[in-house]
Amino acid sequence: MQGFNITELMQEIESLSSIAEFGSLRLKELSKQNDTLKAELNDTEQHASLTSCINNIKKFQNSIHASEQAILNWREKVDGYFYQVHEYAKQVGGEERSQLLVLSETMTELMKTFSSQLALVTQVSEKSKQLILSAERKQKSMTASFERGRAPILTVEDNDNWVIERS
């Protein structure tokens, strides 16, 4: 492990710690967005609005998936560094070894943070899957009402096409 630069690695871990902090904020936002989408779904009474709501939930699921992938990548990166630090620590002593042990503890905490974030993103993902199922049930119910002949309502979709719906 010739040329191992503790200072550069410490800066990288510091950077990943900042990313973890941002990730925690992002996950809180995703959780709030899930609640907002749930409220939107509950308030939706027209088919076009429901279709829009379903599309929003699907976009939201893409955001969740992207967040999950990012967390997995960061965790894998820290895990790789962790291995390198432990291997290098076996070869050195003194102050350098002490720095590596402190860095190792920091990386352990970072791994715990990423793991808890992964658990949270999994929870939000499951909630969004339930939202999609609820939305699809609501859509089927609205379609069934339409087919039974309730009075149509004229609404406009995002692309400015008029659509006949049933309330």
DSSP string, 42-94: HH--SHHHHHHHHHHHHHHHHHHHHHHHHHHHHHHHHHHHHHHHHHHHTT--H
Asked whether residue 1 is domain-assigned, the answer is no
Query: pLDDT by residue (tens digit) across 15-35?
Result: 999 999 888 888 899 999 989
- Tell me if residue 162 falls in helix, strand or coil: strand
Q: How many domains does the chain have?
A: 1
Asked whether residue 38 is domain-assigned, the answer is yes
pLDDT category, 4, cuts 50, 70, 90? low
Tell me what percent of the residues of the chain surpass a pLDDT of 90: 34
Asked whether residue 37 is domain-assigned, the answer is yes
pLDDT category, 40, cuts 50, 70, 90? confident
User: Which run of H or of E encompasses 153?
Assistant: strand 152-156
pLDDT computed for residue 62 by the predictor: 94
6 and 99 Cβ atoms separated by less than 8 Å: yes
113 and 24 Cβ atoms separated by less than 8 Å: yes
Query: pLDDT by residue (tens digit) across 123-162?
Result: 999 999 999 988 888 888 887 777 776 644 544 444 444 4
Judged against a pLDDT cut of 90, whether residue 113 lies above it is answered with yes
Asked whether residue 126 is domain-assigned, the answer is yes
Judged against a pLDDT cut of 60, whether residue 51 lies above it is answered with yes
DSSP 157: -
Which domain does 65 fall in, by range?
A: 6-166
Asked whether residue 137 is domain-assigned, the answer is yes
0.85 exceeded by the pTM? no
